[in-house]
Structure 1
Amino acid sequence: MTKVKIALCQMNVVDNKDENLKNAERMIEKSVDENSDFIVLPEMFNCPYSNDKFIEYCEEEKTSKTLLKISNLASKNQVYILAGSIPEKENGKLYNTSYLFNRNGEIIAKHRKMHLFDIDVKGKIKFMESDVLTAGDNVTTANTEFGKIGIGICYDIRFPELARLMALEDASILFYPGAFNMTTGPAHWELLFRTRALDNQVFCVGVAPALNKDASYHSFGHSIITSPWGEVISEATEKEELIISEIDLSEIKKIREELPLLKNKREDIYEVNKKQLF
């Protein structure tokens, strides 16, 4: 199967977990009505993007009402769902974690955000995820009926080594649920997704929460799909929006034959080595 219909659920996230789960369910059901194969939710889709809320909203994997809800929706509708990310708690530590469910509602991959969002743009925005979150340390890929896919979260996309490692593990689509803000988003969001797709000749998918002006953190939105040629296939606005696009994975082979970047790497001079990096 080379064609995949992907649904990007750019949902409005509020300070109420039950309301967020209802909204996620509504957008998933609408995606199913449009015959989507692969449905993607935003980073922290059940939780306001705030350190204090990560603590308040966190769930343990085995008892998570959020993950149970998404698992049931995946199995009921026989679709893949990438559950953006949630604040996950394990052994007293908090992680920003994404879960991938298959058509049977089974978790087939989980990714803990590797690069924590610790920034200080003077006079504009300061955020320190490391104040409450712990970084993951695994490169995450998963086998699906569409081939292998890779998963990162938000700030992970700024690190080209991670994308290259996933591509070298034969991932053909890289998913990055993310929540860029109104400072970094306009400057870098589209640029990064086009660049990671172009560098590795893969499809890249970013799904963000919609802009909620009542929240303390203002998400840029603009959920996006970019092609192996570095083009934007689809992009949302900042508002709540459902974007559904069909991609053709056969484009990857065609583009790699025309412009053989990965084949022309000079591994006699340099290489990206997983054991050395992580």
Structure 2
Amino acid sequence: MISPSKTSFRAALVQMCAGRDVARNVSDALALISEAAAQEADYVQTPECTTLMEIDTERLMAETKPETGNEALAAFSAAAADKKIWLHIGSMAVKVGDRRLANRSYLIAPNGEISARYDKIHMFDVDLGKGEVYSESVNYQAGSSAVVSELPWGRLGLTICYDLRFPALHRALAKAGASFIAGPAAFTRITGEAHWHTLLRARAIETETFILAAAQGGRHENGRETFGHSLIISPWGEVLGEGGTDPGVVIGDIDTHHIDEVRRKIPSLTHDRLFDLVEERSSQLETIRK
């Protein structure tokens, strides 16, 4: 385990509107990563689906490559080494079987080496109505392991998009020592307008961690529309940085002392208690039913 050597750093969230051309998406991401590095960011995060936003299964399979020899991943590793930053690729599809993919995050160290990998656990299988249906599990293999990784400023917990709706995962990461939790996403416009800010602030408050969530935003080539609004949120639930709906970079300065202050005020992470779930049946209800 790395002992935190610094107490503050600058985080940058890269907001994108990725399309169906991997090379162009990688080029766009690299340009925004360079912009973030120019603003003296120490840690840079890109959104879910950094390299490809594709809903057609055949095209998705054709455009997705395994991790080994992956040119996009090599380009990101080179960028991290060149800029001397911690580069977190929020997610990219990688082939893990003949017709199976993983939705995988990569945390890349300033020397260009991969420090951590995380495969999205919770699959986005939903029907939002009006023809907007998502079936992630058709093409993607769900991950089975939660991941925390060491940064110079503390431990980072890794999640991706739909994971946001599962508080138990976030609490497990906090219990494992996470001071920051990453939530790169491609939230739909419908769900983003309704829930994005509320869920992210809730996860920050519950876990008493900084939440760093880079997002896709805008109307994509595949016809889908994502919400954007990349967010940096403090352990107290304050919004420290927010994007709009267009591509760009969101900057936030992180002071890890704030985590200790919040956890001293409300030490809820130490207040968990075991409990039984009891189902009570009302005799009066049974009488009414009869």
Short-chain TM bin:
over 0.9
Structure 2: runs of 5 or more not aligned: 1-5, 278-290
The one-character-per-residue Cα deviations of 1:238-270 (angstroms, maximum 9, x if unpaired) are 111211111111101011101111122224769
Kindly state the Cα deviation for residue 216 of structure 1 after the two structures are TM-superposed: 1.8
Judged with a 3 Å threshold, the aligned counterparts in structure 2 of structure 1 residues 149 and 269 are, in CA distance, closer, same or farther, namely: farther
2:89 equivalent in structure 1 = 83
| Separation in structure 2 between the aligned mates of residue 151 and residue 229 of structure 1, nearest angstrom | 20
Which residue identity does 2:66 align to in structure 1? E
Identity over aligned pairs, percent: 31
Shift in CA distance, 48/82, structure 1 to aligned 2, threshold 3 Å: same
After superposition, give the CA deviation of every residue in 1:98-154 in whole Å (9 maximum; x if it has no partner): 110011111111110100000012336211001111101010110111111011000
Alignment correspondent of 1:153: 160
Structure 1 position 35, deviation (Å): 0.6
After superposition, residues 124-143 of structure 1 pair within 5 angstroms as 125-143=132-150
Question: Equivalent residue of 1:183, what SS?
Answer: helix
Amino acid at match of 1:141: V
Q: Which has the larger Rg? A: 2
Q: Which moved more, 1:29-38 or 1:124-133?
A: 124-133
Match of 1:123 in 2: 130
| 1:74 and 2:71 aligned | no
Change (3 A) 1:126 1:91: closer
Aligned to 1:276: none
In the alignment, the residues of structure 2 paired with residue 202 and residue 90 of structure 1 have an alpha-carbon distance, to the nearest angstrom, of 32
Moved over 3 A (4+): 267-270
Distance (Å, rounded) in 2 between the aligned partners of 1:269 and 1:249: 36
| Structure 1 segment 130-209 matched on structure 2, within 5 A | 130-209=137-216
Alignment-derived partner of residue 21 in structure 2? 16
Residue in 2 that maps onto 1:65: 71
Do 2:47 and 2:186's aligned partners in 1 also have CA atoms closer than 8 Å? yes
Return the alpha-carbon distance in structure 1 between the equivalents of residues 63 and 227 of structure 2.
22
Structure 1 residues 179 and 158, CA gap change in structure 2 (3 angstroms): same
CA distance, structure 2, for counterparts of residue 150 and residue 54 of structure 1: 28
Give 3-state SS (helix, strand or coil) of 2:189's partner.
coil
Displacement of 1:49 after TM fit?
4.1
User: When the two structures are aligned, how many residues end up with a matched partner?
Assistant: 270
1:224 aligns with 2:231: yes
Equivalent-residue separation in structure 2 for 1:135 and 1:254 (angstroms): 36
Pair 1:6 & 2:15 matched: no
The CA distance in 2 between the partners of 1:267 and 1:71, in whole Å, is 44
Is the Cα–Cα contact under 8 Å of residues 154 and 176 in structure 1 kept in the other structure? yes
Paired AA for residue 85 in structure 1: S
After TM superposition, the score normalised by the length of structure 1 is 0.93
CA separation in 2, counterparts of 1:214 and 1:94? Answer: 21
Matches within 5 A, 1:74-113: 74-92=80-98, 93-113=100-120
Counterparts in 2 of 1:60 and 1:213: CA distance versus 1, 3 Å: closer
How big is the shift at 1:86? 0.8
Contact 1:13 1:212 in 2 (8 A): no
User: 2:133 is paired with a residue of what secondary structure?
Assistant: strand
- Is residue 50–residue 216 contact of structure 1 (8 Å, CA) maintained in 2? no
Look up the match of 1:274. Answer: none
State the Cα distance separating 1:227 from its structure 2 match.
Answer: 1.0
In 1: Cα distance, 2:16 partner to 2:165 partner: 23
Unmatched runs of 5 consecutive residues or more in structure 1 = 271-278
